[in-house]
Structure 1
């Protein structure tokens, strides 16, 4: 673990590492708790990280912090291969789930002028296109669903039936998604593993894939794999009421994340992709 000792010296040249513990949960980078004679750190390491990968993670955390709505860890140093942050540790109490809902709702009050972001970033290990758009339908079609379709095709993960159904959905997307939506700050990768409990039970958001979009996009991913309590959703709606029509379009937003998972993890997500496609398209 000499490489970790060297990395920590960028933060504290005098620090002596006393313990390194591997942490679970990361499917892309190796994650560690690093204890030194001074303090503890959280470190992620990825020898094969794409160029700009960890800079984009730092920028995403700054994007969230600038909303003044949510807590995020401080980034202490980053390079092409690693990122070092404050370690977040605490225990939740009866208020934590409610605070999470309130924080997310307040994040979704931070509005922008356009959909997208000033530069592209990553969703997991895949590139995420963020070119500015004034149309919500065009953004979802051209910068979310279509790029994942092309990746799936290049990886040989599109059957003829999947391809036909996806093309149908892209051609008719405006029938299900309204165009007049307000762009707001999104975490962008909001599953249950991407928030932690910190001091005093406060929730902290981590591993963002940020951009400006419809708040429903974040909510849709929270509902895909579960892990968020009803208290969180109830607290959220005290600030940001959710439209009844969300239930009808939620699977379309979840389709983006299912395609990402299909492209990264393989056919284990194929059945879920096919179920969503069948909801909105017809076979030919």
Structure 2
């Protein structure tokens, strides 16, 4: 997992050490802060019995943030052939304790194996699209009501949900709202029909792909649900892309429908809108560019 730096000795740190110790039933020997998290503070924790765990803490966490992340991790972990994810050891409203995954490196075969494992995960299905509960994409609420049709699910509970949040916050003007609504109305002609619900990670940018010890490709920080499998592959290309061996491994295991590359930006519009809602107008240009490219 990410590199760590020694945590301070403030009263808050001491209280958190005690909370983690109570959760694990073993006192904390050392707690090091981990860089890179923008949703919660993260720590590499060494327990007095010699074990290491990974902890995430946020005092003002939205309701269910960590409990639902743990639920998603368990769903992935229970899927035959799926990528390795950290086992959730404890979750409450402000604290999540996970199995610690020692870092390593991925070679070409490791990336190909991760692609095949993601394809295996996507082959786990459900009667409908959605999930057992709503969860979060970053810190944004992500609704997951059970829905019969995947395109309807993506339209209503992904794009239109984010559109409404951005409109209500004054981040979208009237003409752009109309253009977005027009694009959403065209989704049945732009996305392949008949796709079965697939268990997806839901937030699969490169930062949530982790090289574990022994060359094992791992996934972290899911926003899991049963959705369109192409959404995971698309997001791996939103901030750069993963090595080609990863995509070859996936295609060898389960080829994507024709034209998948032309749908990448369309599917990533959900994440562009989410970044607009999370971080503000710096992400507006990407939304505008994507909308124009499909209208």
Same fold (TM over 0.5): yes
Match of 1:71 in 2: 84
For residues 174 and 41 of structure 1, do their structure 2 counterparts lie closer, same or farther at Cα, with a shift above 3 Å needed?
Answer: same
Matches within 5 A, 1:14-93: 14-17=26-29, 19-38=30-49, 39-68=51-80, 69-93=82-106
Partners of 2:89 and 2:98 within 8 A in 1: yes
Aligned to 2:206: 192
Structure 1 consecutive aligned stretches of length 4 or more whose deviation exceeds 3 Å: 11-14
Counterpart contact for 2:26–2:48, Cα < 8 Å:
no
Counterpart in the other structure of 1:240:
254
Matched residues in 1 for 2:143 and 2:270: separation? Answer: 12
8 A Cα contact 2:121 2:199, kept in partner: yes
Choose from 1, 19, 28 the match for 1:7: 19
Report if the CA contact (8 A) 2:106-2:217 is conserved: no
Residue deviations 1:17-57 (CA, integer Å, cap 9, x gap): 2x322112211101111223322221101011111111101
Instruction: Report the aligned-residue RMSD.
Output: 1.4
Please give the secondary structure, in 2, of the residue aligned with 1:200: coil
1:132 aligns with 2:146: yes
Following the alignment from structure 1 to structure 2, what is the Cα–Cα distance between the partners of residues 133 and 174? 15
Shift of 1:244: 2.7
Residue pair 1:25, 1:193 contacting (<8 A) in 2 also: no
Aligned counterparts of 2:196 and 2:117: Cα–Cα separation in 1: 18
- Where does residue 3 of structure 2 map in the other structure? none
SS in 1 for 2:253: coil
Contact 1:31 1:45 (C-alpha < 8 Å) held by counterparts: yes
Cα distance, 1:14 vs structure 2: 4.0
Corresponding residue pairs, total? 280
Q: Which runs of 5+ in 1 are unaligned?
A: none
Residue segments in structure 2 that go unaligned for 5+ positions in a row: 1-12
Secondary structure of 2:214 counterpart:
helix
2:4 alignment partner in structure 1: none
